[in-house]
């Protein structure tokens, strides 16, 4: 349980008032429960007393507290019998017991109701923390993790934490209070019996603890198998066109069924072990009652205890009542072990290290005033020995357009990702206006940069909201102006709801060219001083490419632009073209200069003009 409180401690600190309220109400519930059972004692005496016994009132300051209390309870019961008769007295005592029980159950419900905002709040906080962490982690983290696995952790694993861990909070707050009050009452009644009982209880805890440890390991494996199945579904949805084209439905079905069967087998084992909690605790509890009944009878028959029949039955009632919170704690222990397995998987995201950090007092940058410079830059991905970029040196003056060309895998996209600090250089420096980018706040740095990527990424929202994604409080006029420049306004107006039309999941309701033009409009609206174009026109048809290229040329004329291109015709007018090969700059110059050199660039150009 120590691990449970360590894990949950950082979330529970925000809900101290709910914990305090639940503590008070549950203490009240436990005390009322004790008194409701105490009213049984005079009832039993009335029912089973063969010869009436006369009681006299004893001052509370005299004698043993327990004996004084029981004597005075019998004294008042005796007065009631004398005045109203045994039958009416039974009815009155039953009424008192009913009222106390009503108050007890009300307090019991209140304890659960008070804790509910804590339960739901903790789950909300965990989900918020995971999502916030996902947004903050670098792109390199997600290149090593499967999307399906991440989705499982934020959905299924968090649901398991809710079902197993937070649902146990009520039991873990309420039941220890009940046990302490009940055991205290049992000590007052008979310390010998209670000491004997306490020596028997650890047997139950040891047996249940062994089952619980094995349950946690199995639960981790269960969630891993579930992640595998969800990852495969996510891959299937993304590659459905290829699966159908290669008639691979049977192959994919067999793969999924194999993973799903493995999940079913481990889930069955976990469920069986979890189901063992109740019968095992029920059996051990009954054995304990039998042993205590024997030992209590022995004490009474041998004259070693002053308990009468009524008090002994009351003791057994309290003991039996104590078993219920013990069982609930054991069930909570099983649930917590299962939930902690999911928490471990969630913590793989929450505890992931983000190497893209900020200095203690980051500087703000409000624009590009001079140049961007890469000095002796090298880069390798984390946990990789291979360098993707080697000794890169280049300078981009303000207002200049430079282009990066080369074969796929030469490091072009990785190089431009260094500017907004999606990755940090492994060696060398990247400077803006003579200042290392690591000294700037990430927010202010990225606010200067607009991106248009090779894959147009849109969100399942309206056209308007996708264009205005990076600009707060954008007006309809501003959005339309950006769309016109990107040659998108006309086709948007032809849609059923114009700018309020939903684009569907990842823009599935639009063609590739339409998605790209909306993506370009989004960058235009942001109006950044630095523009990164990663194959920005590759998804457009010939006519749209010409129109959008004209718009981009106008846009780039007032901005510092870094353009990646495979189609060399789109970057002929760049100020400088850098040719990359295997992570190195092998040539640089204008289009005409590079053609005249007759090197690697001319070879690429000739291949495209053939």
Same domain, yes or no: 463 and 315: no
- Of the residues 316, 350, 384, which one is the last residue of a structural domain? 350
pLDDT for residue 553 is more than 60: yes
Which CATH number characterizes residue 592's domain?
3.40.50.300
Task: Clarify whether residues 173 and 265 are in a common domain.
Answer: yes
Task: Establish if 386 belongs to a structural domain.
Answer: yes
Is residue 366 in some structural domain? Answer: no
Q: Give the C-alpha separation, 445 to 588, whole Å.
A: 27
Domain assignment present for residue 363? The answer is no
Question: Are 290 and 430 within one domain?
Answer: no
pLDDT at site 390? 92
Residues 165 and 253 in one domain: yes
Shared domain check, 443 and 325:
no
Give the CATH number, domain containing residue 7: 1.20.1560.10
227 within domain boundaries: yes
In this structure, the answer to whether residues 95 and 23 fall within a common structural domain is yes
SS3 35: helix
Write out the H or E segment, with its range, that includes residue 231.
Answer: helix 191-238
For residues 195-222, one letter each, b for 16 or more C-beta atoms within 10 angstroms of the residue's C-beta and e for the rest, the string is eebeeebeebeebbeebbeebbebbbbb
Q: Which residues are registered as beta bridge partners of 532?
A: 451, 562
Query: Domain for residue 30, yes or no?
Result: yes
Q: Are residues 399 and 345 in the same domain?
A: no
Give Cα 241 to chain centroid, integer Å. Answer: 32
On the question of pLDDT at 251 being above 60, the answer is: yes
Least confidently predicted of 382-386, 410-414, 525-529, 587-591? 382-386
* Segments forming the whole domain that contains residue 131: 2-350
What's the confidence (pLDDT) of residue 205? 58
The string of pLDDT tens digits covering residues 298-330 is 777 777 766 766 677 778 888 878 877 877 776
Q: Name every residue whose Cβ is closer than 8 Å to that of residue 33 and which is 6 or more positions away in sequence.
A: 104, 178, 181, 182, 321
- 202 pLDDT tier (thresholds 50, 70, 90): low
The answer to whether 580 touches 404, Cβ cutoff 8 Å, is yes
Q: Are strands 401-406 and 576-581 parallel, antiparallel or unpaired?
A: parallel
Condensed to tens digits (0 to 9), the pLDDT of residues 440-467 reads 998 899 888 888 877 778 888 899 999 9
Residues 389 and 312 in one domain: no
Q: Decide if 362 is inside a domain.
A: no
pLDDT-derived band at 479 (thresholds 50, 70, 90) equals very high
Q: Is residue 406 domain-shared with residue 480, that is, in the same domain?
A: yes
- The tokens 């803006």 sit on which residue? 432
Cβ density class 27-58: b for 16+ within 10 Å, e for less: bbbbbbbbebbbbbbbbbbbeeeeeeeeeeeb
Q: Does the pLDDT at position 257 exceed 70?
A: yes
365: in domain:
no
Strands of the sheet with 530-534, listed across from one edge: 449-452, 530-534, 560-564, 401-406, 576-581, 584-589
Same domain? For 345 and 375 the reply is no
pLDDT tens profile 19-55: 888 888 888 888 888 877 776 666 666 555 545 566 6
Single residue among 350, 381, 398 that ends a domain in this structure:
350
Question: Residue 40 in 3-state DSSP?
Answer: helix
Total structural domains in the chain? 2
CB count within 10 Å of CB 150 equals 21
pLDDT single digits (tens) 102-141: 888 888 888 878 888 887 888 888 888 888 888 888 877 7
Q: How confident is the model at residue 67 (pLDDT cuts 50, 70, 90)?
A: low
User: Which residue, among 506, 509, 517, has the nearest Cα to 539 in the 3D structure?
Assistant: 517
110 burial level (CB within 10 Å; 0-12, 13-18, 19+): middle
Structural tokens at position 159: 């649901």
454 and 332 inside one domain: no
Going from the C-alpha of 275 to that of each of 167, 330, 426, 574, the distances in angstroms are 17, 12, 53, 70
Domain annotation covers residue 243: yes
Q: Are 151 and 276 within one domain?
A: yes
Over residues 360-391, the pLDDT tens digits come to: 889 999 889 999 999 999 998 877 778 889 99
């Amino acid at each position: 349980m120590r691990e449970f409180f360590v894990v949950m401690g950082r979330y529970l600190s925000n809900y101290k008032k709910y914990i305090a309220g639940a503590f008070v109400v549950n203490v009240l519930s436990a005390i009322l429960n004790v008194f409701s059972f105490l009213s049984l004692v005079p009832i039993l005496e009335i029912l089973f007393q063969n010869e009436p016994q006369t009681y006299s009132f004893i001052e509370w300051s005299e004698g043993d507290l327990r004996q004084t209390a029981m004597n005075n309870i019998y004294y008042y019961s005796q007065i009631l019998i004398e005045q109203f008769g045994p039958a009416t007295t039974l009815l009155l005592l039953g009424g008192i017991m009913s009222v106390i029980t009503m108050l007890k159950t009300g307090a019991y419900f209140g304890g659960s109701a008070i804790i509910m905002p804590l339960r739901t709040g903790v789950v909300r906080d965990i989900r918020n923390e995971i999502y916030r962490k996902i947004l903050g982690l670098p792109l390199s983290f997600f290149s090593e993790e499967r999307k399906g696995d991440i989705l499982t952790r934020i959905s299924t694993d968090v649901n398991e934490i809710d079902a197993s861990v937070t649902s146990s909070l009520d039991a873990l707050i309420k039941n220890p209070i009940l046990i302490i009050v009940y055991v205290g009452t049992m000590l007052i009644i008979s310390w010998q019996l209670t000491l004997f009982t306490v020596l028997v209880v650890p047997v139950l805890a040891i047996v249940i603890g062994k089952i619980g440890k094995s349950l946690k390991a199995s639960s981790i494996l269960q969630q891993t198998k579930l992640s595998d199945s969800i990852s495969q579904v996510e891959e299937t949805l993304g590659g459905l066109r290829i699966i159908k084209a290669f008639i691979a439905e049977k192959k994919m079905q067999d793969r999924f069924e194999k993973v799903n069967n493995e999940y079913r087998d481990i889930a069955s084992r976990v469920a069986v072990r979890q189901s063992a909690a109740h019968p095992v605790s029920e059996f051990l509890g009954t054995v304990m009652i039998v042993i205590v009944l024997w030992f209590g009878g022995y004490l009474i028959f041998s004259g070693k205890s002053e308990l009468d029949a009524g008090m002994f039955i009351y003791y057994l009632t309290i003991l039996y009542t104590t078993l219920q919170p013990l069982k609930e704690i054991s069930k909570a222990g099983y649930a917590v072990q299962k939930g902690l397995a999911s928490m471990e998987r969630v913590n793989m995201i929450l505890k992931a290290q983000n190497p893209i950090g900020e200095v203690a007092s980051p500087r703000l940058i409000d624009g590009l005033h001079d140049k961007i410079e890469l000095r002796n830059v090298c880069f390798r991905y984390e946990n990789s020995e291979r360098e993707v970029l080697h000794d890169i040196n280049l300078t981009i003056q303000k207002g200049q357009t430079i282009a990066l060309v080369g074969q796929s895998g030469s490091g072009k996209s990785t190089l431009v990702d260094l500017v907004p600090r999606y990755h940090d250089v492994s060696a060398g420096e990247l400077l803006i206006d003579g200042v290392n980018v690591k000294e700037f706040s990430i927010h202010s740095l990225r606010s200067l940069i607009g991106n248009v990527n090779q894959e147009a990424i849109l969100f399942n929202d309206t056209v308007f909201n996708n264009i205005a994604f990076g600009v707060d409080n954008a007006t309809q006029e501003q959005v339309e102006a950006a769309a016109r420049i990107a040659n998108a306004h006309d086709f948007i107006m032809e849609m059923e709801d114009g700018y309020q039309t939903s684009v569907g999941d990842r823009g599935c309701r639009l063609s590739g060219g339409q998605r790209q033009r909306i993506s370009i409009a989004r960058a235009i609206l942001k109006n950044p001083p630095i523009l990164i174009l990663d194959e920005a026109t590759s998804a457009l048809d010939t006519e749209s490419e010409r129109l959008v290229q004209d718009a981009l040329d106008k846009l780039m004329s007032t901005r510092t632009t870094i353009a990646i291109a495979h189609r060399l015709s789109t970057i002929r007018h760049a100020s400088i073209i850098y040719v990359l090969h295997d992570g190195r700059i092998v040539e640089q110059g204008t289009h005409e200069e590079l053609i005249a050199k007759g090197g690697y660039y001319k070879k690429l150009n000739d291949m495209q003009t053939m």
